[in-house]
Structure 1
Amino acid sequence: MSQRETLVHLFAGGCGGTVGAILTCPLEVVKTRLQSSSITFYIPAVHLSTVNGATVNRVTRLSPGPFYCLKMILEREGPRSLFRGLGPNLVGVAPSRAIYFAAYSNSKEKLNQIFESESTQVHMVSAGIAGFTAITATNPIWLVKTRLQLDARNRGEKRMSAFECIRKVYHTDGFRGFYKGMTASYAGISETVIHFVIYESIKRKLLELKTSSNMDDGDDSVKEASDFLGLMLAAATSKTCATSLAYPHEVIRTRLREEGTKYKSFFQTLSLVIREEGYWSLYRGLTTHLIRQIPNTAIMMSTYELVVYLLDK
């Protein structure tokens, strides 16, 4: 791959990730809150009158749904809280996606010379290498983003800034503190691998269908609006399957990134969450995650493909 082609994939990946992050940030905040162990939403207190006339408040813990969570954030913290962590997200998403797509494209080109060209093995290994590279390089940014999203403050209270968060993490845990949750992110590479294998397979089928339908036409390299719609649907389908299979790592990662918690390592957190909250707790926030991730991935992948197409013309 030439230097120009590498830069094209870097720029396209950054553009795709940035657009998707901005449009779906509120859902990201809701999802992170639902995954957290410190979620503090309760149903209203029930007043009970005792024999001597005293009143006792009974508060029952509720496992809230995404719409209730969204409502409480808006009521207690204001609309701006739905964009908590957007700064680090924008700082991190462009280099993260750029590194990812560049590593994916370069790995795929080299592996095509070793394995059967454009085979499943090539897509799986390329996606794994790309995921590992991007996670290792950008984990500190995502840790800060998660801390900011979990920083629930009522209206009018001063909110923690990204720089304050960075100083606090370093003061409390040192440099190693910025890499909390990285093991869970590595486990999440499986989601990326599944996603790209399915995506590339659907993309190849769509290309074959277009080629067969345009055999009598001239140039079939010109892309139309329907082509980008097909890529969006392919990305949405592949991401839904991958996310549903690999989602528990998301919950474990959020728990590991919480401030001053009892969660220490990947397997310790996994067993502790199951023991204390049950297996279903590993899927807390899944609905919100899917609602966010499907359009985010569709937007990201289609933007990436569009930018690559425009710059290669």
Structure 2
Amino acid sequence: MDWDKLRIFHAVADAGSLTHAGDSLHLSQSAVSRQIRALEESLNTTLFHRHARGLILTEQGELLFEATRAMNKRLEAAAARIRDSEEEVFGELKVTTTLAFGTLWLAPRLTKLYERYPDLKIDLMLEERVLDLPMREADVAIRMKEPSQADLIRKKLMGIRIGLYASRAYLDRSPPIATVADIAHHRVITQGPSSPQVTAGASLAQQLLGHEPQSLLTINNYFGVLQATLSDLGVGVIPDYITEDFPSLVRVLPDVESVEVPVFLAYPEELRQSKRVTAFRDFVQEEVIAHRRRIRDAA
């Protein structure tokens, strides 16, 4: 099978348009169309349904696109390994983690990493969905549980716990909180039951709701829970890795907290020798050690 025709097919399938694919390939629309027709003739099948709004893959086209997509991922991985044979740390690194951890813990610390490696380009993808590292949807993942995918190198970074916090202004104007039963006189701010979250956080929230709080505010991510808590709205259910950077928050009922939640860094086995991955991994580990030291010194 002609590799060049497969490359053109992949671009057309990805763009859904002969014109857009031609632009990305620096080819005319007619040249792209000829290559697609030739590929269809060689396979004796139709790869696209053509209509006024663009192109839609046929069932056979979907099968071929799945294959070219996998090939493209493998080629990207090979290119990354070749580039990583250089001594300098440079190029793109795709990092995925949760919205809260990426926004509130990782992103504020990246200044130090860029100062050390100014030619590094980080694509930070913040979402709760677990991306497929072996298929190179991302190069590195930081997650709140041990990854289950095969062929991954895993490193436990730290353990976190989810507890109760409130602003001083809220506590000053509200009834005292001496026991968990006193939550009945307060507003609880937590992630909603349908929001993606670790089991430990959901269990703690359910425990609090069992005491029938006076009011409830649910938000679908911890960034929102933090902002509402800082705005004096109530008692927030927040992971402890967030609160270090917000000293105005007051810990409420220190004995009421979740079980430990492990935080793992993972990357594909094939990137073991990647200098970009190594540089990022070492940087995050240094920041975790500094984070633990500050918590210990503040205790």
Which TM-score band applies after superposition, normalised by the shorter structure?
A: under 0.3
Relative to its length, the structure with more helix (as a share) is: 1
TM-score, normalised relative to structure 1 = 0.26
TM-score, normalised relative to structure 2 = 0.27
Max radius of gyration: which structure? 2
Relative to its length, the structure with more strand (as a share) is: 2
